[in-house]
């Protein structure tokens, strides 16, 4: 199977200011037409999803994809054609979810949202699909999430957070569970409490991590600097701190970084660094959560595993949703890594 990993695609394009079409990155691979397009799951104009459903006489499991883009760009079109085809070939429905962005035009933007709001609205997609599971032919008890970069962080947040179901809500969607069976995370971040990043990287590299200084932490949470330093900021950082939410009742995880473990020299290298994997792996060991960590550039055994399993995240998720022999959508073993290059 030919597979292209769009590692940090949107973030890289933002940093470089380049114009690169998805079709050119994907090597011309074409996704099947969705069974349902632009399905609205929430009130924001970006709260839409596409859904592919395989033919089946019985309810099918569901995979939910969240795109990357640093919470500032990207969209549901970024789902891999190969992932859609693999899911359908294995009798699994697959959804690609588009979510609202954090602010684009500063605190004066009336449509701005903090990352904590984006995460909660993304979790609503899980609830929405569960609420409509009967009409879609989905088995609501077999649901998993995956994504790359910001989408991976969103998936980790959903996996680690306590159930958001509100049985007393007047909105029937909000009464549904957000708990999932597994999460697949490519180039995931360990937390969105950004204040924790520099201390962890400084411990590893002895300081000198400067490229993060220009990031407006307060605006990332949709707050003013004063609000960020006060109770609102404390609540927002705690809500978005995925690693602290991990607990023994959380589902199995697979977390992958295709980057090297050297000192990061760019925001892409910083946000996709293998240290994120190591920190989550250590926390999972503490709280007894099943986790598979893959860092192929740093661990020879992980490199061998990826060579023999060119779609490790998809294989992991299919195995958790449908523990039978996995059926590849296409033959072959070629893996193409479209990785950002650090200077």
Query: Angle formed by the axes of helices 115-131 and 231-239, to 10°?
Result: 50
Q: How far apart are CA 184 and CA 280, in angstroms?
A: 13
pTM of the predicted protein model: 0.85
Q: Which of 2, 7, 17, 71 is nearest to 260 (CA)?
A: 7
Where would I find the H helices in 161-311?
Answer: 197-205, 217-220, 225-229, 231-239, 242-245, 267-271, 274-287, 300-308
**Token output for 257:** 């970084």
What was the pLDDT predicted at 180?
98
Q: Which of 170, 174, 169, 90 is nearest to 131 (CA)?
A: 174
What was the pLDDT predicted at 170?
97
Asked if 255 and 188 count as a contact pair (C-beta separation under 8 A), the reply is yes
What was the pLDDT predicted at 110?
64
**Token output for 199:** 């201390």
What was the pLDDT predicted at 14?
35
Q: How far apart are CA 220 and CA 72, in angstroms?
A: 10
Q: How far apart are CA 175 and CA 335, in angstroms?
A: 41
What was the pLDDT predicted at 178?
98
Domain ranges of the chain: 3-338
Could you read off the pLDDT tens digit of each residue along the chain, which spans 343 residues? 333 344 343 343 333 233 322 332 333 468 899 999 999 999 999 999 999 999 999 999 999 999 999 998 899 999 999 999 999 999 999 999 999 998 755 556 666 689 999 999 999 999 999 999 999 999 999 999 999 999 999 999 999 999 999 999 999 999 999 999 999 999 999 999 999 998 999 888 887 666 666 778 898 998 989 999 999 999 999 999 999 999 999 999 999 999 999 988 888 888 999 999 999 999 999 999 999 999 999 999 999 999 988 899 999 999 999 876 555 554 332 222 223 323 2
| 3-338 to CATH, choices 3.40.50.360, 3.40.50.2000, 3.40.50.1820, 3.20.20.10 | 3.40.50.1820
Asked if 51 and 95 count as a contact pair (C-beta separation under 8 A), the reply is yes
Where would I find the H helices in 92-164?
Answer: 115-131, 133-136, 150-160
**What would the DSSP string read from start to end of 36-70?**
EEEEE-SSSTT-EEEEE----SS-EEEEEEE--ST
């Amino acid at each position: 199977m030919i597979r292209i990993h769009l590692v940090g695609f949107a973030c890289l394009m933002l940093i470089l200011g380049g114009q690169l079409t998805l079709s050119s990155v994907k090597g011309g691979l074409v996704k099947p037409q969705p069974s349902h397009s632009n399905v609205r799951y929430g009130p924001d104009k970006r709260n839409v999803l596409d859904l592919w459903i395989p033919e089946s006489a019985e309810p099918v499991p569901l995979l939910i994809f969240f795109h990357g883009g640093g919470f500032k760009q990207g969209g549901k079109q970024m789902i891999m054609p190969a992932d859609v085809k693999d899911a359908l070939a294995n009798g699994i429905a697959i959804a690609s979810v588009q979510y609202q962005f954090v602010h684009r035009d500063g605190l004066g933007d009336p449509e701005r949202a903090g990352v904590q709001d984006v995460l909660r609205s993304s979790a609503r997609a899980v609830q929405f699909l569960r609420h409509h599971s009967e009409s879609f032919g989905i088995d609501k008890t077999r649901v998993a999430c995956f994504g790359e970069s910001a989408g991976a962080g969103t998936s980790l947040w959903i996996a680690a957070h306590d159930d958001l179901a509100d049985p007393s809500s007047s909105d029937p969607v909000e009464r549904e569970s957000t708990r999932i069976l597994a999460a697949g995370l490519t180039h995931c971040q360990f937390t969105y409490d950004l204040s924790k990043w520099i201390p962890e990287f400084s411990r590893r590299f002895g300081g000198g991590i400067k490229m993060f200084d220009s990031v407006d932490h307060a605006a990332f949470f949709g707050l003013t600097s004063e609000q960020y330093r006060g109770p609102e900021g404390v609540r927002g950082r705690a809500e978005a701190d995925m690693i602290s939410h991990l607990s023994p009742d959380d589902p199995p995880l697979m977390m992958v970084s295709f980057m090297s473990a050297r000192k990061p020299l760019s925001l892409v290298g910083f946000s996709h660094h293998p240290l994120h994997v190591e920190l989550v792996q250590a926390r999972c060991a503490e709280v007894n959560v099943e986790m598979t960590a893959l860092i192929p550039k740093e661990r020879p055994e992980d490199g061998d595993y990826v060579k023999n399993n060119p779609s490790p995240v998809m294989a992991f998720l299919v195995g958790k949703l449908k523990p039978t022999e996995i059926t590849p959508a296409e033959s072959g073993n070629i893996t193409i890594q479209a990785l950002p290059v650090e200077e």
